[in-house]
Structure 1
Amino acid sequence: MTTSAHDSRPAAPPQLPGPQVHDRHPLALALFGLTVVSGLIDAVSYLGLGQVFTANMTGNVVVIAFALAGAPGFSVPGSLTSLAAFLLGAVLAGRLAARHTPARRGRWLRTALALEVALHGAAAAVVFARGADGSVRYLVIALVAVAMGIRNGTVRGLGVPDLTTTVLTLTLTGLAAESRLAGGTAPRRRRRILAVATMLAGAVPGAVLVLHGQLAWTLVAAAVLAGVTALLYRE
């Protein structure tokens, strides 16, 4: 008996039920918590590590372009370090996803968060011990960027709309373009507003801490909050 070419194709991987996650679902609540962490990390990287992004690679690419054009205050080596480390983290996230089925989503996310906590904690330890100046800064950038690459790769795989935890451009676009003012039905309006609010809830205290010389403690706060999120997440 022969097998047709259609039948011999590998089965498509099962899809995660991300779009069906409501705002009070444990996964959505965990992602809101991680959005707060992203606000803290953005404050650390941009304000404390030389105007480098470790979670938002669109911003990093633009920063590299500014530096190449000769704009003062931007670092090509710092941004390239962040970009390379972020991509490494995303590769690790892909490897991690391949080891977990959709039915083991909880374990998948908790494993990714454990790695993020460890990397943020390691970055904090480096800053406490050596500061964040000179060549040490690149090590801190790399540790945080790997963590955020793992986070972004994992959250992308989970596929929950409007909860990327690190980027708000599409969230804000949807909030405006699908609003009743624009003739839409304003779907997921509360989720989108909460995503913006939770980013601000991390970025404001993060900026205050970094501007007052508490870079290491901001990283500790990020690690602790990510760890608490992992411990509270049950599905």
Structure 2
Amino acid sequence: MAADTKADDPEARGLRLVAVLLGLTVVSGLIDAVSYLGLGHVFTANMTGNVVVLGFAAAGAPGFSVPHTATSLVSFLIGAMAGGRVSARYGSGTRRTWARVTLAAEAVLVGASAAVAFVVPDATGTTYTLIALTAFAMGLRNATVRKLGVPDLTTTVLTMTLTGLASDSRAGGGSSRRSPRRTASVIAMLAGALLGAWLVIHRDLGTPLLIAAVAAGVLAAVTSGRE
């Protein structure tokens, strides 16, 4: 009887959120590789780094741009506000539906940025368009991930993940209970950044963005609401 109930539970259908969020962490590495290496040393997923970059740009450090960084920050904040609206609309329902709506929107936004990168790579305004689209998508996703509240899987930043990995380790006097999840998150970000950097250096900006869009779309289709 319990097995039948679980089979009928829409939240249990699909890939668990932990695996989905690890996949999204890879996507974040791809997107930040594109933005930092290809769009003028700006982050569109990692806003902690972006605030620091804004300070560099404001101080006149070469290779950094206040307008680029400000565009990313503002777009991210608008995306996060949209994510708050989505959570207000879907947060009282199933997590599965909520996650799927947000990830589908991310896939569309990142897919649009890939199309722009392929079609008009050198046009005036392309850099700002790519920054705005990807930062908005990351703000939307981050607002959702934050409210889903899966521990140690923020998908875009690793400072607290690394802190927990070290401080809660057996060497740090802890139990290391969440070390596998935290380690997987670090590896996922590194893998995404490595792949994204290689593609930006050896191919173009559109290819890693396309891969990121497809990955987000697949994750949207298969995610469950269970951690």
Aligned residue in 1 for 2:9: none
Aligned residue in 2 for 1:56: 46
Aligned residue in 1 for 2:144: 154
Runs of 4+ off more than 3 Å: none
Unpaired segments of 5 or more residues in structure 1? 1-24
Alpha carbons 2:95, 2:224 under 8 Å: kept: no
Aligned residue in 2 for 1:41: 31
* Distance of 1:99 and 1:127 partners within structure 2: 32
Alpha carbons 1:49, 1:132 under 8 Å: kept: no
Alpha carbons 2:25, 2:189 under 8 Å: kept: yes
* Distance of 1:173 and 1:137 partners within structure 2: 34
The TM-score with structure 2 as length reference comes to 0.90
- Deviation of 1:133 (Å): 5.8
Aligned residue in 1 for 2:133: 143
Kindly provide the amino acid, as one letter, of the partner of residue 53 in structure 1.
F
Identity rate of aligned residues, in percent? 59
For 1:14-163, list aligned pairs within 5 A.
26-131=16-121, 134-163=124-153
- Deviation of 1:213 (Å): 3.2
Unpaired segments of 5 or more residues in structure 2? 1-14
* Distance of 2:221 and 2:170 partners within structure 1: 38
- Deviation of 1:132 (Å): 5.1
Aligned residue in 1 for 2:222: 232
* Distance of 1:213 and 1:51 partners within structure 2: 18
Kindly provide the amino acid, as one letter, of the partner of residue 91 in structure 1.
M
* Distance of 1:135 and 1:122 partners within structure 2: 14
Aligned residue in 1 for 2:164: 174
Aligned residue in 1 for 2:196: 206
* Distance of 1:56 and 1:199 partners within structure 2: 11
Deviations 1:106-130 (A, max 9, x none): 1001000111001001101111111
Q: Which moved more, 1:72-81 or 1:129-138?
A: 129-138
Kindly provide the amino acid, as one letter, of the partner of residue 134 in structure 2.
V
* Distance of 1:132 and 1:37 partners within structure 2: 24
Alpha carbons 1:132, 1:140 under 8 Å: kept: no
Aligned length: 212
- Deviation of 1:160 (Å): 0.7
- Deviation of 1:102 (Å): 4.4
* Distance of 1:155 and 1:108 partners within structure 2: 10
- Name which structure has the greater RCO, CA cutoff 8 Å, separation 6+: 2
- SS state of the match for residue 99, structure 1? helix
* Distance of 2:135 and 2:122 partners within structure 1: 15
Kindly provide the amino acid, as one letter, of the partner of residue 98 in structure 2.
W
Root-mean-square deviation over aligned CA pairs: 1.4
The TM-score with structure 1 as length reference comes to 0.87
